[in-house]
Structure 1
Amino acid sequence: MIKMVAVDMDGTFLKGTNDYNRARFAAIYQKMLQKEVKFVVASGNQYYQLKSFFPEIAEDISFVAENGALVISEGRELFCGEMALSLVQEVLAFLETLSDVQTILCGRHSAYVSEQEKTEFVEHGRIYYHRLKVVPSLLTLTDDTFFKFALNVPVEATEEMMALLNQKFSGKIVAVTSGHGDIDLIIPGLHKANGLTILQEKWGIHEKQVASFGDGGNDLEMLRHAGYSYAMANGSPEAKKAAKHQAPSNQDEGVLVILEELLGEEHNDQSTFN
């Protein structure tokens, strides 16, 4: 029986239009409320961006944002990771030696980008970071709690860059990708599954009672973690290998399709969400 549903957003819950079928989800959400099933948004994106997708219920649901670095449930912060400032500056100094790497530094109160970055990168970043400040230099920032770097590199260089960063900062940071040349540098152990565990402890929910949906490399831990896990048809080979099941693509509203099936499915006269 499922008591908690966790969904990635880009490439999973959201269609290519950067939106979802709101009326269809609203009906599903009402059924979840009736069955006391928790709904969790688990994404690498910024909390302030994620909550904007759910204006009516943002204070009633939970968010595992920034790939697990920030957990907010029903409007209350439960967890916030933190990188040492010395590590932040060490990573930034190394990134400056690399070509074709664009960087956003992510903090609790805002994300930050250097005024030296290309305008197209900054404007694209605003889609995922509703709080994004352009500053003279990332190296001089100290007045925030920093927990993630969001990088963009040429798509063909993604795997090589991840290997380089994981080797250079082994034990200090972990590089994960959500595809399209996007790489997140996160605090070791602060992935989406860790965020789900924090929420499970709050509610007394076992992994076997969790359903998760994802499509990329930053979803792997969450997909392995949940008793019911679904990789999207459009997902990466790694996501499909990590998940126990497959869902239709995000373009076909796969998350909503599966949730409707689970809500209506009968097992010994009892719903999966019973």
Structure 2
Amino acid sequence: MGIKLIAVDMDGTFLDDSKNYNRARFAKQYEQMKAQGIRFVVASGNQYFQLKSFFPEIDREISFVADNGGWVVSEDKDIFNAELSRQEYNTVIDHLLSLPHVDIITCGKRNGYTLKSYSEDFKQMAAMYYHRLELVEHFGHPDDVIFKIALNLPDDMVEDLLDSLAVVLNGVMVPVSSGHGSVDLIIPGVHKANGLRILQEKWGIKDSEVVTFGDGGNDAEMLRQAGYSFAMENAPEKIKKIARFQAGHNNREGVLDVIDKVLNGEAPFH
């Protein structure tokens, strides 16, 4: 039984801290993956349009589990869209607007949406992750399918906010950490593992034939689900405890090193 699917988180995992990766090395690996019948999936909390920009040569060949599973695209075709109801959206936004020191991005299929009134620094940072970002006067429900809501706040507030939102929004949305100063609110059951499960069912791939890589709270479900799960060396201890194995540091091509082992049939992939 061989490996048939490799899924990678991006920030802090596949990408280094400068948001780059070794493109020449990966291009050779990708050709080997295709020759061995291994699917490559990008599984990230980020916007689909941003994610595909990292793979311009192959974006129509590979698959994306974007917005933490809210939007699944395979070979340039829509496979799955989650959608937050208008009533649920309004409930969540009303609560979020009452919180100090929290910047909000609502994540839709056409665009991300954030306030014109936010600081220029925040808007510039948001534009790095949302290649389609619309600045709005208010957070009234846009004419769009909303998958997710992303929050930005000081690092020292993250844990307390995760705890409080889990209580206040119970049954409506689930808060997960997605990196430094970032929290994603996802629809219950709509996470990266669910997106991978949809693709696995489409292709007839078992969990035992899947390799996943991650470094954050929004990777937990897919790290638990995969037969071969790798937490990055730079991941928090609680994520390392979830994964079955550990990869090297994201700044030292830790993911690509493990992919070489998959392709060469080295331990633990005998």
Q: Normalising TM by the smaller chain, what interval?
A: over 0.9
2:172 partner SS: coil
Say whether residues 1:244 and 2:244 are aligned partners.
Answer: yes
1:183-211: per-residue Cα shift (whole Å, max 9, x none)? 00000000000000000000000000000
Show the counterpart of 2:51: 50
1:183 partner SS: strand
For residues 1-274 of structure 1, the aligned pairs below 5 Å read 1-139=2-140, 141-266=141-266, 272=269
Q: Distance in 1 between matches of 2:29 and 2:147?
A: 33
Residue identity in the other structure for 2:77: R
Q: Distance in 2 between matches of 1:257 and 1:80?
A: 33
Unaligned runs of 5+ in 2: none
Q: CA deviation at 1:266?
A: 4.9
Residue identity in the other structure for 1:170: N
Q: CA deviation at 1:179?
A: 2.3
1:138 partner SS: coil
Q: Distance in 1 between matches of 2:269 and 2:202?
A: 22
Contact 1:216 1:238 in 2 (8 A): no
Q: Distance in 2 between matches of 1:47 and 1:75?
A: 11
Contact 2:261 2:269 in 1 (8 A): no
Contact 1:217 1:236 in 2 (8 A): no
Q: Distance in 1 between matches of 2:183 and 2:240?
A: 19
1:201 partner SS: helix
Q: Distance in 2 between matches of 1:238 and 1:80?
A: 30
Residue identity in the other structure for 1:225: Q
Unaligned runs of 5+ in 1: none
1:127-176: per-residue Cα shift (whole Å, max 9, x none)? 1100000011112x330001110001110110100111110010110000
Q: Distance in 2 between matches of 1:111 and 1:194?
A: 22
Contact 2:3 2:211 in 1 (8 A): yes
Q: CA deviation at 1:272?
A: 4.1
1:229-257: per-residue Cα shift (whole Å, max 9, x none)? 10000011121011000000100100000
Q: CA deviation at 1:96?
A: 1.1
Q: CA deviation at 1:29?
A: 0.5
Q: Distance in 1 between matches of 2:194 and 2:252?
A: 29
Q: Distance in 2 between matches of 1:236 and 1:193?
A: 19
Q: Distance in 2 between matches of 1:40 and 1:265?
A: 20
Q: Distance in 1 between matches of 2:114 and 2:36?
A: 43
Q: CA deviation at 1:33?
A: 0.5
Q: Distance in 2 between matches of 1:238 and 1:272?
A: 24
Q: Distance in 2 between matches of 1:114 and 1:91?
A: 16
TM-score by length of 2: 0.97
Identity %, equivalent residues: 49
1:20 partner SS: coil
Residue identity in the other structure for 2:161: M
Residue identity in the other structure for 2:212: S
After superposition, the Cα gap between the structure-2 partners of 1:243 and 1:110, relative to the gap in structure 1 and judged at 3 Å, is same
Q: Distance in 1 between matches of 2:95 and 2:130?
A: 24
Q: CA deviation at 1:265?
A: 2.5
Q: CA deviation at 1:107?
A: 0.4
